[in-house]
Amino acid sequence: MPVPSARKWSHEAIVARASARPERMQKLKVAANSGQNPGFEYLQECWNDDPALQIVIKKLLAKFPQWGIAIVDGVLVDWNE
């Protein structure tokens, strides 16, 4: 498992993630209810930036395998590319 960078876990980075989390959660909830893929880039950004959202994303990918996105060794992979 890679060692997280100090910058990612700085106070400023944690505060920024906490501020962005409600908006990101809302977009992920809309995706869960509608079945519309929010996009690989968006999911990857959330996955890499906010560990708290990884659980939500795991559930989304399990619910919508037709999106063609999987988790391989802790990394999101787009099978369509």
pTM of the model: 0.83
Q: Provide the β-strand partners of residue 72.
A: 75
- CA-CA distance, 50 to 64, in Å (whole number)? 21
Summarised one tens digit per residue, pLDDT across range 9-59 is 788 888 888 889 999 999 999 999 999 999 999 999 999 988 889 999 999
Q: Which of 28, 25, 38 is nearest to 67 (CA)?
A: 38
Q: Provide the β-strand partners of residue 77.
A: 70
Query: pLDDT at residue 65 above 70?
Result: yes
- CA-CA distance, 74 to 48, in Å (whole number)? 10
Q: Which helix (H) or strand (E) element contains residue 62? A: helix 51-63
Q: Tokens 């106070």 belong to which residue?
A: 11
